[in-house]
């Protein structure tokens, strides 16, 4: 007979407010005595040092052989209590944590019933723990290479941190160059550093780092494996350029006769050629040929680039290449997209020429952009005399995105400053709330106030061109309530900038699925813990950084890139990782070779031996999910840590079948 | 032959009689039958909501119940009637308690409304159910060169919340193109005509009418096409009031879209109720 | 003079909103989209946004004294644009109902008497009849407006667009009993 200790946590009032914890502990000690319970205690914070010491002391003094803790979800403190048991000399896997907070006190409103349910949950834990066996964690080696997906500032930062520490990184980017959105910006708030000036050194570093292998113009096809041992299939799209010969001299795009609107880097504001690098400081320097737009690929003739290339680096016969890399950790930094302003038809974007999005405006005021940094109207020459900046376009709006896009207030202030500085125009910021937390931001707000920008508190209702007065002729009219005055205003402007929301990538769901992650309802990737573990995910070995997790500014993005790198480096440095020893295995004599389980394994851990007609499970790949155990009609698959005996005993316990002063045979 | 249950609404009896007659004439020519609801009552317009919400729904539910008996989709030519029917049906379907309460009252007239009916506006029926292609194929007198401002107004669109559709709808334009006319682009096409404010808050409503007329005229409209009797009355019958109030000189005919479709189908003007306008459409239609 | 917050008015008005699906006007963030969109805002004593704030703050007297909700044209532009999903138009209806129920509205407004006359015509006959509505408003018009209105009516009459006899539905008795099941006491006749 095992000697079991039951410990019921108050969790302050989190549990004790809805569950009579003392009664639960006393009940367990009395009514489950015949099931092995020798002590039942309740304590204010079981997870505190004193709480843990209580358990350790009982293990030593009462000779406990099993421990059941009724507290919060195992996600939070399972490890705490297992470690406490280990310190007292008990195998950690002989401890069972049952949840009476998430599954009881937080979801019920009747104290008597919640208390009764807690008793049942404790009884289930007691029955189950009887069948626990001492286990040792599985150690798996960590492959020292890392994959970073996304070559924006988050991905670049993560890659550099890891590479600088001496480990190899594969940096995969979908576009022809790394740099991401930051490379498109002109200035960065609140210091007004030139974005390119601070970003391009990092891009060059990433491009030339001996430990970084750049895979631009490439996409992830497939991800197999698990923490420490991922195998990732990558499609390197055909560039039609022999990179070993190309010098990046630029003659090809100079000679290319085909002009194409650049919807990506220039946000539709400028042109590029069919063979191109997105911008002058692109890393790598090699161009790509945009096959759907290339005259040769469309008509079969042209080849101007090939004729003029001084190093014969053009190769129209290139094909996509599939490569597979093995890595121990993956950092996902795939960033964001901007909200399609056409969805708010009353703002006239797409219909009224001088209504532009924030990203378009970044290109408009960028010295390397289509107007060489001149802030001008769509006619290409007129400087605006009055400019409006509309905040929260597609953000903080239940009709589109409920969340705040974080960056728009500061971006609006930055634009106000740039317009003021370069055109002297009157600038209006239309905001609902000004949000300028973080270092130096409020000071920047003050600066823009001093410059004389007009701040109008009101969400813009509509923008149209229907003039009612001579002043309004030929202008964009912004209709808004100045809510601080309580009057509807019509403001004639020359240009309106829409601060569009940041949105998840259109293919975020697909990407999440590829990597075995989950997205929130609005499409951002879900972190392991929103406060305490923002760069980890529920899938061990896969980290997230930057806007893929939610809207954030550059400083926060860089911090996350570095944090994700630190996480990966920690694992690489340890060289191996201890995994839960919960694995399924096949009892060969019972296996009938029906193969029902074969297709079910989400981790491809099941192997079928045709010669012997039996199934085998690879313990290195198995994650202990239990799908095959439940599916096996012959009961030939057993799960360590979740055996049928354990599960059935827990169910009996929950049903209170064995409760009472008298012993009932198990 | 496609058939609809038809709820004309009070205005179409007299004030907007030309909408009624032109709707019947054009649908006949297009091979669609409008079957008028027997013994229908007033939908309560927006005004009844000022008095009692539940009774406002009940008034409309009676008409819906009568329509439901026919097993047909129901169509309303007036935007206020349409909005009331559309949302009463939606609320009753979504709220069993409300439906039960209202159906209890409907028992007095041996009626019951289950909530399963498709409610259409007459313009939606033309522009979406029948469709521009079908109409185009039957046009004999295309309105070439006629610049028409399609005026949607409010309650045909709102308060439905399918945003891109309600802030910048295109189906009225498509219909006008199908009959050979040139739909003009003007940014107030979904803005309010003032509705019943023309009585209760006259200056406000006249300003709204003025803004609409101004915007349509600035974009070169020969005619404004409407799909609601209230809009038609405000934009047309109050043009003189607007001119008096603001010293303007508007004289833009405001016709129902059914009259314009009818002309393109070659139906004689008198059968379409043309001639009953206060701002005569004759100068614009003279050549046709 | 300072005021203090009371929340009974907000709760009373909330309870008058049935079909607006729990219309959460206390969720208003005061962004002003409604009032920026409103075609009548310029004529209102307070903008719709201000009215929401005043209802939430319990400023009942000021709200009932205002013309705002009687000036609502029911165009629903505010409602479909509200980023918080509030049916502002429905709130305006609720305030109209509250105001009529309490018989408290500002002197000189046409809205309340017109609405009552309109409603009475319907419950008596099942239909509306424009000429009978005229007395509820026409005498409040300025002289110029008065004559303009008479002139309009005359022209419409000549064109055959005004009814001479009040229409009524056939099963009027059933209809009236139906109404009594909704409003058991008073209200009708």
Q: Do A399 and C29 touch (CB under 8 A)?
A: no
Structure tokens at A369: 């952009």
Q: What is d(CA A160, CA A366) in angstroms, rounded to the nearest whole number? A: 27
Q: What is d(CA C14, CA C55) in angstroms, rounded to the nearest whole number? A: 10
Touching partners of C (3+ C-beta pairs < 8 Å): A, B
How many beta-carbon contacts under 8 Å exist across B and C? 205
HEC secondary structure over C127-148:
CCCHHHHHHHCHHHCCHHHHHH
Q: Is A342 on the interface with B (CB under 8 A)?
A: yes
Q: Is C68 on the interface with A (CB under 8 A)?
A: no
Neighbours of A257 (CB within 10 A): 10
Higher pLDDT, B4 or C133: B4
Chain B contact set for A466 (CB, 8 A): 186-188, 211, 214-215, 218
Chain C contact set for B52 (CB, 8 A): 97, 119, 182-183, 187
Q: Do B48 and C70 touch (CB under 8 A)?
A: no
Q: Which of B240, B210, B235, B223 is nearest to B274 (CA)?
A: B223
Q: Do B196 and C73 touch (CB under 8 A)?
A: yes
How close, in Å, is residue C2 to chain A by CA atoms?
A: 18
pLDDT value at position C188? 46
Look at strands A584-586 and A637-639 and give their pairing.
antiparallel
Q: Is C23 on the interface with A (CB under 8 A)?
A: no
HEC secondary structure over C91-139:
HHHHHHHHHHHCCCCCCCCCHHHHHHHHHHHHHHHCCCCHHHHHHHCHH
Chain B contact set for A467 (CB, 8 A): 218
Percent of chain C topping pLDDT 70: 94
Q: Do A468 and B188 touch (CB under 8 A)?
A: no
B96-106 vs B53-70: helix crossing angle, rounded to 10: 70
pLDDT value at position C189? 45
Query: pLDDT band at C185, cuts 50/70/90?
Result: low
pLDDT value at position C183? 80
Q: Do B62 and C178 touch (CB under 8 A)?
A: yes
Chain A contact set for C83 (CB, 8 A): 392, 396-399, 459
**Which residues numbered 3-22 in B keep a CB inside 8 Å of some CB on C?**
10, 13-17
How close, in Å, is residue B135 to chain A by CA atoms?
A: 28
Beta bridge partners of A330: A147, A542
pLDDT, average across residues A550-572: 98
Which residue of C119, C135, C153, C168 is the best one to mutate when testing the B interface, meaning the one whose CB has the most B CBs within 10 A? Answer: C119
Task: Tell me what the pLDDT averaged over chain B comes to.
Answer: 94
Which residue of C16, C20, C118 is the best one to mutate when testing the B interface, meaning the one whose CB has the most B CBs within 10 A? Answer: C118
Look at strands B147-150 and B182-183 and give their pairing.
parallel
pLDDT value at position C21? 60
Taking a C-beta distance cutoff of 8 angstroms, is the pair B29, B267 a contact?
yes
Q: How far is CA A99 from the centre of its chain?
A: 27
Chain A contact set for B212 (CB, 8 A): none
pLDDT, average across residues B203-207: 95
Give the H or E element holding residue B245. Answer: helix B239-246
DSSP 8-state code for residue B197: H
C101 pLDDT exceeds 60?
yes
Q: Do C19 and B108 touch (CB under 8 A)?
A: no
Beta bridge partners of A386: A426
Q: Which of A346, A399, A488 sits opposite C83 (nearest CB)?
A: A399
Task: Tell me what the pLDDT averaged over chain A comes to.
Answer: 95
Higher pLDDT, A29 or A516: A29
Taking a C-beta distance cutoff of 8 angstroms, is the pair A596, A609 a contact?
no
Q: What is d(CA C165, CA C187) in angstroms, rounded to the nearest whole number? A: 24
How close, in Å, is residue B222 to chain A by CA atoms?
A: 18
pLDDT, average across residues A438-458: 97
For residue range A634-655, what is the model confidence (pLDDT) as tens digits? 989 999 888 888 999 999 999 9
Chain A contact set for B218 (CB, 8 A): 466-467
DSSP 8-state code for residue A594: -
For residue range A474-504, what is the model confidence (pLDDT) as tens digits? 999 999 999 999 999 999 999 999 999 999 9
Chain A contact set for B211 (CB, 8 A): 466, 468
pLDDT, average across residues A357-385: 95
A663 pLDDT exceeds 70?
no
A664 pLDDT exceeds 50?
no
Chain A contact set for B188 (CB, 8 A): 464, 466
Q: What is d(CA B233, CA B226) in angstroms, rounded to the nearest whole number? A: 10
Taking a C-beta distance cutoff of 8 angstroms, is the pair B179, B214 a contact?
no
Query: pLDDT band at B93, cuts 50/70/90?
Result: very high
pLDDT value at position A340? 97
Q: Which of C128, C148, C129 is nearest to C138 (CA)?
A: C148
A51 pLDDT exceeds 70?
yes
DSSP 8-state code for residue B130: I
Q: What is the CA radius of gyration of chain C?
A: 19
A528 pLDDT exceeds 70?
yes
pLDDT value at position C7? 86
Percent of residues in chain A assigned helix, strand, coil, to nearest 5:
30, 25, 45
A25 pLDDT exceeds 80?
yes
pLDDT, average across residues C49-78: 95
Neighbours of B247 (CB within 10 A): 7
Contacts for A587 with CB less than 8 Å, ≥ 6 apart: A636, A637, A638
Structure ipTM = 0.93
Report the chain B residue with the minimal C-alpha distance to residue C175: B109
Beta bridge partners of A482: A487
Q: Do C85 and A398 touch (CB under 8 A)?
A: yes
Which residue of A342, A466, A490 is the best one to mutate when testing the B interface, meaning the one whose CB has the most B CBs within 10 A? Answer: A466
Q: Is A324 on the interface with B (CB under 8 A)?
A: no
Contacts for A167 with CB less than 8 Å, ≥ 6 apart: A144, A145, A146, A211, A569, A572
Q: Do A458 and C36 touch (CB under 8 A)?
A: yes
Q: Do A343 and B187 touch (CB under 8 A)?
A: no
Q: Do C41 and A432 touch (CB under 8 A)?
A: no
Report the chain C residue with the minimal C-alpha distance to residue B230: C73
Q: Is B170 on the interface with C (CB under 8 A)?
A: no
Contacts for A379 with CB less than 8 Å, ≥ 6 apart: none
Q: What is d(CA B113, CA A304) in angstroms, rounded to the nearest whole number? A: 72
How close, in Å, is residue A482 to chain C by CA atoms?
A: 8
Q: How far is CA A223 from the centre of its chain?
A: 16
B287 pLDDT exceeds 90?
no
Q: Do A398 and C46 touch (CB under 8 A)?
A: no
Q: Dihedral, CA atoms, A72, A77, A78, A83, nearest 10 degrees?
A: -140
Look at strands A476-482 and A462-464 and give their pairing.
antiparallel
Chain B contact set for C184 (CB, 8 A): none
Structure tokens at A44: 């204010």
Structure tokens at B134: 């079908």
For residue range A142-166, what is the model confidence (pLDDT) as tens digits? 999 999 999 999 999 999 999 999 9
Which residue of B166, B187, B214, B217 is the best one to mutate when testing the A interface, meaning the one whose CB has the most A CBs within 10 A? Answer: B187
A373 pLDDT exceeds 50?
yes
Beta strands in A379-538 (DSSP E): 386-393, 426-431, 454-457, 462-464, 476-482, 487-493, 495-500, 502-504
Beta bridge partners of A457: A431
Chain B contact set for C171 (CB, 8 A): 39, 109
pLDDT value at position B234? 95
A611 pLDDT exceeds 70?
yes
Query: pLDDT band at A17, cuts 50/70/90?
Result: very high
Q: Is residue B101 classed as helix, strand or coil in its secondary structure?
A: helix
Q: Which of A342, A351, A466 sits opposite B188 (nearest CB)?
A: A466
Q: Which residues of A touch C (CB under 8 A)?
A: 346, 392, 396-399, 432-433, 457-462, 479-483, 486-489
Beta bridge partners of A639: A584
Chain B contact set for C134 (CB, 8 A): none
Q: Is A399 on the interface with B (CB under 8 A)?
A: yes
A520 pLDDT exceeds 50?
yes
pLDDT, average across residues A606-619: 90
Q: State how far the alpha carbon of B214 is from the alpha carbons of B149, B201, B233, in Å.
A: 12, 20, 17
What is the number of H-type helices and E-type strands within chain A?
Answer: 16, 34
Look at strands A329-332 and A542-544 and give their pairing.
parallel
Q: Of the ranges A300-309, A509-518, B16-25, B259-268, which one carries the lowest mean pLDDT score?
A: A509-518
Structure tokens at C87: 């049916």
Q: What is the CA radius of gyration of chain A?
A: 31
Q: Is A467 on the interface with B (CB under 8 A)?
A: yes
Q: Do C73 and B197 touch (CB under 8 A)?
A: yes
At residue A543, φ and ψ (nearest 5 deg) are -115, 155
At residue C73, φ and ψ (nearest 5 deg) are -90, 5
Q: Do B191 and C161 touch (CB under 8 A)?
A: no
pLDDT value at position A518? 87
Q: Of the ranges A205-219, B256-270, C16-30, which one carries the lowest mean pLDDT score?
A: C16-30
Q: What is d(CA B181, CA B160) in angstroms, rounded to the nearest whole number? A: 29
Query: pLDDT band at C141, cuts 50/70/90?
Result: confident
How close, in Å, is residue B137 to chain C by CA atoms?
A: 33
For residue range A54-79, what is the model confidence (pLDDT) as tens digits? 999 999 999 999 999 999 999 889 99
Q: Do B211 and A345 touch (CB under 8 A)?
A: no
């Amino acid at each position: 007979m095992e000697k079991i200790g039951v410990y019921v946590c108050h969790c302050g009032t989190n549990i004790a407010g809805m569950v009579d914890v003392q009664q639960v502990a006393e009940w367990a000690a009395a009514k489950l005595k015949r099931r092995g319970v020798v002590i039942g205690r309740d304590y204010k914070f079981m997870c505190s040092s004193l709480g843990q010491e209580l358990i350790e002391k009982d293990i030593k003094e009462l000779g406990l052989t099993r421990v059941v803790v009724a507290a919060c979800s195992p996600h939070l403190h399972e490890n705490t209590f297992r470690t406490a048991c280990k310190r007292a000399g008990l195998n950690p896997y002989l401890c069972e944590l049952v949840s009476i907070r998430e599954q009881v006190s937080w979801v019920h409103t009747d104290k008597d019933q919640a208390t009764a349910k807690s008793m049942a949950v404790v009884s289930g834990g007691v029955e189950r723990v009887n069948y626990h066996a001492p286990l040792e964690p599985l150690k798996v080696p960590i492959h020292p290479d890392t994959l970073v997906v996304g070559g924006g500032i988050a991905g670049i930062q993560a890659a550099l941190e890891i590479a600088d520490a001496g480990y190899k990184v594969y940096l995969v980017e979908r576009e022809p160059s790394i740099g991401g959105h930051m490379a498109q910006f002109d200035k960065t708030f609140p210091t007004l550093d030139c974005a390119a000036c601070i970003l391009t050194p990092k891009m060059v570093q990433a491009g030339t780092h001996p430990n970084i292998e750049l895979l631009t113009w490439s996409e992830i096809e497939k991800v197999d494996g698990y923490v420490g041992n991922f195998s990732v299939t990558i499609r390197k799209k055909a560039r039609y350029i022999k990179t070993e010969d190309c010098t990046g001299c630029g003659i090809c795009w100079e000679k290319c006769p085909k002009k194409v609107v650049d919807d990506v880097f220039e946000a539709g504001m400028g042109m590029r050629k069919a063979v191109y690098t997105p911008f002058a400081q692109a890393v790598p320097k090699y161009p790509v040929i945009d096959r759907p737009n290339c005259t040769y690929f469309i008509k079969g003739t042209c080849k101007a680039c090939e004729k003029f290339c001084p190093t014969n680096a053009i190769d129209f016969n290139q094909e996509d290449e599939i490569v597979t890399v093995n890595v121990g950790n993956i950092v996902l930094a795939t960033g964001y997209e901007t909200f399609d302003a056409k969805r708010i038809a009353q703002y006239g974007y797409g219909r009224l020429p001088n209504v532009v999005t924030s990203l378009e405006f970044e290109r408009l005021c960028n010295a390397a952009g289509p107007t060489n940094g001149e802030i001008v109207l769509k006619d290409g020459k007129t400087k605006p005399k009055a400019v409006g900046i509309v905040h929260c376009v597609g953000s903080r709006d239940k009709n589109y995105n409920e969340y705040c896009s974080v960056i728009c207030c500061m971006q609006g202030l930055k634009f106000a400053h740039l317009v003021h500085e370069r055109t002297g125009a009157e600038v209006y910021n239309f905001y609902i709330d000004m949000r300028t937390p973080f270092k130096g931001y409020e000071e920047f707000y003050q600066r823009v106030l001093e410059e004389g920008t007009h701040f109008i508190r009101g969400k813009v209702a509509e923008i149209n061109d229907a003039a009612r007065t001579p002043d309004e002729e030929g202008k964009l009219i912004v209709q808004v309530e100045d809510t601080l005055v309580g009057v509807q205003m019509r403001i004639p402007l020359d240009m309106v900038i829409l601060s569009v929301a940041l949105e998840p990538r259109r293919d975020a769901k697909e990407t999440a699925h590829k990597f075995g992650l989950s997205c929130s309802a609005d499409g951002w990737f879900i972190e392991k813990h929103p406060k305490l573990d923002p760069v980890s995910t529920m899938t061990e070995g896969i980290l997230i950084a930057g806007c893929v997790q939610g809207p954030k500014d550059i400083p926060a993005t860089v911090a996350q890139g570095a944090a994700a790198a630190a996480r990966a480096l920690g694992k690489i440095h340890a060289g191996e990782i201890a995994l839960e020893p919960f694995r399924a295995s096949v009892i060969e004599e019972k296996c009938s070779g029906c193969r029902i389980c074969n297709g079910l394994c989400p981790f491809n851990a099941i192997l079928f031996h045709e010669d012997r007609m039996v199934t085998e499970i690879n313990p290195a790949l198995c994650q202990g999910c239990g799908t095959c155990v439940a599916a096996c009609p012959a009961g030939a698959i057993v799960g360590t840590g979740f055996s049928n005996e354990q599960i059935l005993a827990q169910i009996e316990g929950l049903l209170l079948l064995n409760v009472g002063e008298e012993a009932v045979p198990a | 032959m496609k058939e609809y249950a038809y709820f004309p609404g009070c205005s179409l009896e007299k004030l907007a009689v030309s909408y009624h007659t032109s709707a019947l004439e054009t649908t006949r020519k297009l091979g669609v039958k409008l079957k008028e609801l027997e013994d229908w009552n007033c939908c309560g317009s927006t005004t009844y909501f000022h008095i009692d919400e539940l009774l406002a729904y009940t008034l409309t539910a009676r008409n819906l119940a009568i329509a439901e008996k026919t097993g047909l989709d129901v169509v309303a030519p007036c935007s206020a009637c349409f909005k009331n029917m559309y949302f009463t049906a939606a609320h009753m379907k979504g709220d069993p308690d409300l439906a039960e309460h209202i159906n209890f009252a409907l028992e007095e007239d041996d009626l019951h409304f289950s909530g399963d009916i498709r409610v259409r506006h007459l313009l939606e029926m033309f522009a979406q159910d029948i469709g521009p292609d079908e109409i185009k194929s039957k046009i004999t007198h295309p309105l070439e060169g006629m610049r028409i401002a399609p005026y949607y107004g409010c309650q045909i669109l709102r308060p439905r919340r399918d945003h891109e559709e309600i802030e910048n709808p295109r189906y009225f334009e498509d219909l006008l193109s199908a009959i050979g006319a040139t739909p003009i682009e003007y940014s107030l096409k979904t803005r309010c005509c003032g509705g019943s404010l023309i009585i209760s808050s006259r200056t406000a409503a006249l300003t709204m009418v003025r803004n609409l007329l101004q915007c349509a005229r600035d974009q070169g409209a020969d005619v404004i096409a409407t799909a609601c009797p209230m809009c038609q009355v405000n934009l047309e019958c109050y043009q003189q009031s607007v001119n008096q109030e603001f010293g303007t000189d508007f004289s833009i005919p405001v016709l129902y879209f059914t009259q314009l479709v009818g002309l393109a189908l070659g139906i004689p003007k008198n059968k379409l109720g043309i001639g009953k306008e206060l701002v005569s459409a004759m100068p614009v239609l003279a050549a046709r | 003079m300072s005021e203090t917050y009371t929340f009974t008015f907000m709760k009373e008005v909330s309870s008058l909103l049935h079909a607006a699906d729990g219309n959460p006007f206390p969720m208003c963030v005061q962004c002003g989209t409604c009032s920026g969109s409103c075609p009548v805002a310029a004529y209102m004593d307070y903008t719709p946004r201000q009215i929401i704030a005043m209802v939430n703050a319990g400023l009942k007297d000021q709200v009932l004294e205002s013309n705002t909700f009687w000036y609502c044209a029911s165009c629903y532009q505010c409602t479909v644009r509200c980023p918080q999903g509030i049916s502002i138009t429905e709130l305006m209806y609720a305030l109209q109902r509250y105001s009529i129920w309490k018989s408290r509205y500002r002197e000189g407004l046409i809205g309340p008497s017109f609405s009552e006359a309109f409603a009475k015509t319907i419950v008596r006959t099942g239909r509306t009849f424009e000429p009978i509505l005229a007395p509820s408003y026409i005498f409040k018009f300025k002289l110029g407006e008065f004559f303009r209105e008479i002139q309009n009516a005359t022209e419409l009459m000549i064109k055959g667009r005004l009814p001479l006899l009040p229409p009524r539905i056939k099963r009027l008795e059933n209809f009236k009993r139906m109404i009594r099941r909704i409003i058991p006491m008073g209200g009708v006749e």
